[in-house]
Every structure is written in structure tokens, then in C-alpha cells.
Structure 1
């Protein structure tokens, strides 16, 4: 063997073998990530199957988790339904609260707030949940009461708080922000929501919700916009 061949052989002998990656166990999800998967699956199952028929095992299978894991995180079906609604509402309210902090003009800001409300209330799955609740409220009054308090009232409250911020900034003049929020939401969602619930049309598209939010904002502001020289409840002209 020549010197060059010897050097190559020695170099090859001395070189460490390529490191092989061990298979190992896949990284485990956190409990928060697992809950998010469960909530998403539960919303779908409840909307499609109804509360009575949906089982915890159905939700676990849809979420891709074990039944044992589901029961460890959420012990009962009623608790699961409540957690599912509360999770959706918490995310909705955080968006509305952030919207109250921007510096846009009142018309654009109100359109954005109403769009957020419309995307929640007029979502096909949310409408299906309400239809299910109405159908099963006699057998399960707890789910109706919980949805009313945790979803419907919190939605009105979030929009009322948003309107209250705008009033304090002197952008609109209202006597009752909570009452105005209820009327504004009614104008935004009542007809399209009922049309879907009674099977007369499909859920609104994102573009249709946006157009409706814009129209409702314009109608509302034409009656509550601060006019030159008008004093608002906050004392600003």
C-alpha cells in the first residue's frame, strides 16, 4: 500500500462513525395544547350530534386523545360543554377589548368590533349549537342557562364595554351603553341568525358579515354620532 493510501486508511479508521439519531419518544403536547384540541373537537361534536348523544369517547376520538386524558383534564360532559363555550368567549372578548384600544376613527372601529361579533354569533357551528340548546333545553336546562350567561350575556357585555370606552373618549353619545349594545347586536344578527336556524338560507359568508357590520355601524352612528357643539355624557364637546 502506498503512503497516500495508508493515510486515507488511517484517516478513515480514526474518523468517528456518523451519529445516528435515536428515534426516541415524540414530544408530548402541553395540557393547554391538548385542551385546545379537545375544545375544537367538542364544539363540532356538540353542534353535529347534540348534547344528549355526544359522548366523552366521541370527543376524545375526534380530538385524537385518549379517553383517560380527556377525563383527567375535564371530568364531566357538562364541564366540557361549559369549558368549550368559555374558551371561545374568552378569545372573542380579548379581541373586542384590544379593538377598544386602537386609534382609528369611530366608524372604522365600530365596523371592526361588529365584524368580530358577527364572526362569532353568525358562525354556522355556533348557530347549530344554539339550535341544539333550544331543542334539548327541556332535558338539560343547565346547558341553556350556562350558554345564556357565559355566551349571550358576555357578548352583550363585551360590546357594551367597548361602547362605554368610546363614550368616555367623546366619540359617541349614549344614555345606556348596555341597552345600546343589545339593540346593535339585534340589528346585526337577528334576521340572518333566524334565517339559518329555520333552514331558509346558509350561514353568511365572511364578505356578507363584513358588509352587514358596515351597514349596521353606519345606521347606529347616524343616531349616536356626536354633532358639533353637542356635549357628551363625559362632559366633552
Structure 2
């Protein structure tokens, strides 16, 4: 075998591969590209009105490529919901279990939760999930577990730690967490969700959350806190 020809052929193949690679995004990037296209289609047409063909076109991929990543529209929507919840979770402040400043922790957590909930992207996602959940209840379940359920569990864990430290008192941390979160968002989110009110100002959010903290501590604070 002519080794010169062999080396030249190998180099040619490598050069050809290098020329193709920039046009072939890594798997993770391709998946994000598809999710971005799907998000646009679902928002404009809803779950029932969206088709895999429309999504493929919006994402700039073939239907064949789309089905390599997602077996069905339901699978794609579920993953989009999970991606949305993951991004939302990154905006929520952490709950320091050992932080003795219960009022300060609750204020920070409540404000970050409400600021995330009132974002137009989140409102659109909730509306889409509710519209799809009747036909595909697993989508609603995924959204709840990764969103509201996750937030309740995080806060309940913090409340349990504060009960053990003698700062709060309750026999049901999950219920107490639900009470606090509803106090923070109820008067803001429901009117916004139904289009009754406009986007709340930061001052309105702070006022509502501060009032929620006052009511919560009046009910659950241990004596002397």
C-alpha cells in the first residue's frame, strides 16, 4: 500500500469532517434548538393546534430529525414543561436551613417566587398546561411536580428545620408552606392570569409579600420570635 496516498486520504477525510462539523450542532444544542421552536409554536397555536411539522419548520430541522429527539408531540411538550420549570427554579433564592432570620428568609423566598410567577413566559406556560392537561393529565402532573409541588416541598423542608430550632410551630409543615405561598401570590397571580390586571410593580410585589410574611408569622411564629 502507498502510505503517502493513505495519509493523504485520511487527511482529506478529516478536512471534510471538519468542514461539516460547524453545521452540525452538538446533540444538546440541537435539542435546545427544537425546544425553542416548539415553544414558539405552542405559544402561538396552543397544544392542540400545534403539529410536529410546524414545530420542525420553526426549529429549522427536518421532521425526521425531530422524531429522533422526541417520539411524539406529547413527549416534546412534557420536556418543554420540564425545561421551563428548570429555568424557573434557577431564579428562586435558596433557603438557608440554619439561617435564624426567618422573616428575612421568607421575604426573600416569597419575592423571588412571585417575581418568577408573574413573568409573561410563565403565565403563557401555565395557560398551555391547563389547556393540555384535560386530554393529557400526565403533562399537568409533570408541571405540578416540577413547579408548585417542588416549591412547596422546598419551603416545607425549611419550615421543619425552623420548627426543630424552636423558631416556628406547626404540626403540618406542608400545609404551612401552602398557606405562605398562597398568601404571597393569591391576590396578584389570579387577576393577572385571567387578564384582569396588568403586570404588578416591584413595589406591589414587595408590599404583598411583606404582608404575607406578617400574617404567616402571626400564625406560626413560636413565642418570643
TM over 0.5: yes
Among 141, 149, 158, the alignment partner of 2:154 is: 158
Structure 1's unaligned 5+ residue stretches are 1-21, 229-236
What's 2:119 paired with? 123
What's 2:66 paired with? 70
Among 110, 113, 117, the alignment partner of 1:114 is: 110
Equivalent residues, number: 208
CA distance in 1, matches of 2:39, 2:165: 38
Question: What per-residue deviation string (whole Å, max 9, x for no partner) do you get for residues 122-164 of structure 1?
Answer: 3323223333343444444443344334433233223222322
Does structure 2 retain, via aligned residues, the 8 Å contact 1:97–1:162? Answer: no
CA distance in 1, matches of 2:73, 2:117: 23
Among 200, 222, 230, the alignment partner of 2:218 is: 222
CA distance in 1, matches of 2:108, 2:116: 13
Q: TM-score, normalised by structure 2?
A: 0.72
Which one has the largest radius of gyration? 1
- Relative distance call for 1:62 and 1:221 in structure 2 (3 A) is farther
Does structure 1 retain, via aligned residues, the 8 Å contact 2:82–2:142? Answer: no
Question: What per-residue deviation string (whole Å, max 9, x for no partner) do you get for residues 39-86 of structure 1?
Answer: 455444333321111233444444455544433222222112221222
CA distance in 1, matches of 2:59, 2:217: 44
Where 1:203 maps in the other structure, the secondary structure is coil
Among 162, 179, 188, the alignment partner of 1:192 is: 188
Question: What per-residue deviation string (whole Å, max 9, x for no partner) do you get for residues 15-44 of structure 1?
Answer: xxxxxxx98853854433443444455444
CA distance in 2, matches of 1:33, 1:215: 43
Higher RCO (CA 8 Å, separation ≥ 6 residues): 1
Give 1:177 deviation, angstroms: 0.9
Structure 2's unaligned 5+ residue stretches are 1-17
Identify the structure with the greater helix proportion.
2
Among 84, 89, 97, the alignment partner of 1:88 is: 84
CA distance in 1, matches of 2:31, 2:214: 39
Question: What per-residue deviation string (whole Å, max 9, x for no partner) do you get for residues 161-219 of structure 1?
Answer: 23223333443222211001112122222232221232211233455434433332232
Which has the larger displacement, 66-75 or 112-121? 66-75
Please report the RMSD computed on the Cα atoms of aligned residues, expressed in angstroms: 3.3
